[in-house]
Amino acid sequence: MDWLAGLEQLGRVASTNDVIRERGRAGAPEGTAVLAESQNAGRGREGRSWRSPAGNLFLSVLLRPVLPPDALPVLPLLAGVALAEAAAGYGVAARLKWPNDVLVGERKLAGILVEATSSGSGVEFVVVGVGMNLVLDPLELPEELRSRATSIRAETGRSIEPLAAARAVLARLGVWYDRLSREGRVPVLAAWRLAALPWWGERVEVRSAGARIEGVARDIDQSGALLLDTADGATLRVLSGDARELRRLSG
């Protein structure tokens, strides 16, 4: 499949994920993608807003995966690998924070929002949305956010056009989606582990549905769930869809 052939450029939209969801319900084929100039209702996980000024990357793509249900949570990790590889092509050494953030040091470069639409017969389609800061200037953010965000230009001095970045991301998404379809999830999980923050063996906290869970990060399992060793000696499996935030604990 030519992942670039289905790319459509739009102006300002509410959310690229919403646009692709509408296309999916109308029967659009797998690989349909939209690139927006800006968003006025961009969102992250659990409906949190995503700053969407023009000049940055706002991209969503439609997938119709033929996968076992427990493999679907691997898709955000696959998207993270694709984003990290695209960033590497611009000279940025990004790392992945489970389950959906792309960081440079402690600063967020990109985020991922994967949303599935289901019917009585199962998953009909999946929307993979990505936002990457290309030209964002952290100094223009509110003071409390300046140390938490970065961009390709802030890291390298290079100004990358959104269309070029979209093509780079789609190319890497296509490579990894094809591998997932042909070889299963093992290569994807291995690539994600290589790019992940080295937090294994360290104490972390997961915020989930109003609760805070502490434990030692051990690994991810074959479905992409985070495995935590808790203080009572148990191993807890945290699903990506249930996690609101992951952070490392000091001490």
Average pLDDT in the 177-199 region?
96
β-pair partners for 217? 228
What the block records as the tokens of 163 is 């269309």
Q: Which pLDDT band holds residue 140 (cuts at 50, 70, 90)?
A: confident
Sign of the Cα torsion 121, 220, 131, 79 reads negative
The pLDDT, as a whole number, for residue 251 is 52
The pLDDT, as a whole number, for residue 145 is 83
Under 8 Å between Cβ of 37 and 204: no
CATH 3.30.930.10 fits 7-195, yes or no: yes
Q: What is the 3-state secondary structure (H, E, C) of the chain?
A: CCCCCCEEEEEEECCHHHHHHHHHHCCCCCCCEEEEEEECCCECHHHCECCCCCCCEEEEEEECCCCCHHHCCHHHHHHHHHHHHHHHCCCCCCEEECCCEEEECCEEEEEEEEEEEEECCEEEEEEEEEEECCCCCHHHCCHHHHHHECCHHHHHCCCCCHHHHHHHHHHHHHHHHHHHHHHCCHHHHHHHHHHECCCCCCEEEEEECCEEEEEEEEEECCCCCEEEECCCCCEEEECHHHCCEEEECCC
Angle at 95 between CA 92 and CA 98, to 5 degrees: 150
The pLDDT, as a whole number, for residue 51 is 56
The pLDDT, as a whole number, for residue 166 is 97
The pLDDT, as a whole number, for residue 41 is 67
The pLDDT, as a whole number, for residue 47 is 46
The pLDDT, as a whole number, for residue 28 is 96
Percent pLDDT > 70 in the chain is: 94
The pLDDT, as a whole number, for residue 6 is 83
Structure confidence by residue, pLDDT tens digits, 17-49: 999 999 999 999 999 999 999 988 655 544 455
Least confident of 42-56, 96-110, 167-181, 194-208: 42-56
The pLDDT, as a whole number, for residue 211 is 83
Q: Which of the two residues, 17 and 139, has the higher pLDDT score?
A: 17
Asked if domains 7-195 and 203-248 share a fold, the reply is no
Structure confidence by residue, pLDDT tens digits, 114-137: 999 988 778 899 999 999 999 999
Give the mean pLDDT of the chain: 90
The pLDDT, as a whole number, for residue 78 is 97
Domain boundaries, the chain: 7-195, 203-248
Which CATH number does 203-248 carry?
Answer: 2.30.30.100
Under 8 Å between Cβ of 107 and 98: no
The pLDDT, as a whole number, for residue 178 is 95
What the block records as the tokens of 33 is 């993608």
The pLDDT, as a whole number, for residue 46 is 47
Structure confidence by residue, pLDDT tens digits, 190-248: 999 999 999 999 999 998 777 888 999 999 999 999 999 999 989 999 888 778 789 99
Q: Which of the two residues, 64 and 142, has the higher pLDDT score?
A: 64
